Structure 1
Amino acid sequence: MTGYYDIVLGLIPVALLGITAALTFVGISLTAAVPIGALASMAIIGHAMFVNTPTGASEDVQSNSARPPFNAD
């Protein structure tokens, strides 16, 4: 099952390379296209970190509270 963060991890290089290639194909210089593609990738990362925050880890710990913690000793 593909989750939100799997899609985000796939979209980061696609946005960087795809937008850079598309802008270069349209006629924008490579030195201008790369920062624009990087800004799109940064926007995707920022959305994943701050807008749709990962909260699954804390919920999993609370749901497994009936089980005692593992002791490695």
Structure 2
Amino acid sequence: MASRRIAQTKPPGADVPTFGPSRRLDYEVELGIWVGPGNPDGRPIAVDDAADHIAGYCLLTPDSVCGIAALRSIRT
């Protein structure tokens, strides 16, 4: 279970920021592919050979706090 990030946010219409859990979260899942043996510099990998160059896969789950990102974008 993920916990909410605690940070400084500024609700709409507020004069000053507050500190507490974010109410707006954005969840994403990204696919990572580890590239294996590679190829000599300047030599392309043929599409038919691409699977032979994959060493592994992973799932990345970055989270972002929309309220914090919004506050950072209005700072000068």
TM norm structure 2: 0.22
Q: Which structure carries more relative contact order (alpha carbon 8 Å, separation 6+)?
A: 2
TM norm structure 1: 0.23
Structure number with higher helix proportion: 1
